[in-house]
Amino acid sequence: MNNKVLVTYSSRTGWTVGVAEAIGKTLAENGMQADVIPMKEVKDLSTYNAVVAGSAVRNKTWLPEAVQFIRTHQDELKRKPFAAFLVCMTLAMPNGENYRSHISTWLDPVRTLVKPVSVEFFAGGLNISKIESFSDRLMFRVSVMFGVWKEGDHRNWNAIKEWAVQLKLLLSK
């Protein structure tokens, strides 16, 4: 039982789902039993030895429901290895890697609640037609026009797998 890991995620337009699934797959390939479940479907963490939680970023922070998930389960999460990741578009900018230390601050609301054993940041993707509000769609269309970033899938599967491989040791403690 001591290698059972929950990989849980919160996503609005779908890009984070694949990141969580890739993390779960890599953990499983490395001998852990990993369940990959959306946060809204998770009721109880007690059967898990460790938890990996991730969210899409909106307006420089995790989705509100993801922060709420950590708040709700903070007592249980403090008792087991907990790792956190975020998925964003800043890392998909041509010079996105320069913003890593700034991006790291977007996880401060999570760190305040529970100290993670590891955090990581991943580029996600942009599908403007899936964005819910007209004003946000307009803002992203303009940002693409000005070359801030490109639409499409920017997920770096090697970076995602590398982090998941490293996690195995940290989550087994």
Ligand X SMILES: Cc1cc2nc3c(=O)[nH]c(=O)nc-3n(C[C@H](O)[C@H](O)[C@H](O)COP(=O)(O)O)c2cc1C
Residues that bind ligand X (CB under 6 A): 11-16, 56-60, 87-90, 124-126, 131, 136
Element (H, E) at 61: strand 61-62
If we measure between CA atoms, which residue out of 139, 122, 146, 105 comes closest to residue 23?
A: 122
User: What φ, ψ does residue 106 adopt, rounded to 5°?
Assistant: -65, -15
Q: Which is nearer to ligand X, 77 or 88 (CB)?
A: 88
Burial of 151 (0-12, 13-18, 19+ CB in 10 A): middle
Q: Which is nearer to ligand X, 60 or 78 (CB)?
A: 60
In whole angstroms, how close is the CB of 7 to ligand X at the nearest point? 14
Q: Which is nearer to ligand X, 14 or 169 (CB)?
A: 14
In whole angstroms, how close is the CB of 8 to ligand X at the nearest point? 13
In whole angstroms, how close is the CB of 43 to ligand X at the nearest point? 22
In whole angstroms, how close is the CB of 173 to ligand X at the nearest point? 29
Q: Which is nearer to ligand X, 27 or 103 (CB)?
A: 103
If we measure between CA atoms, which residue out of 170, 3, 163, 144 comes closest to residue 86?
A: 163
Element (H, E) at 143: helix 134-145
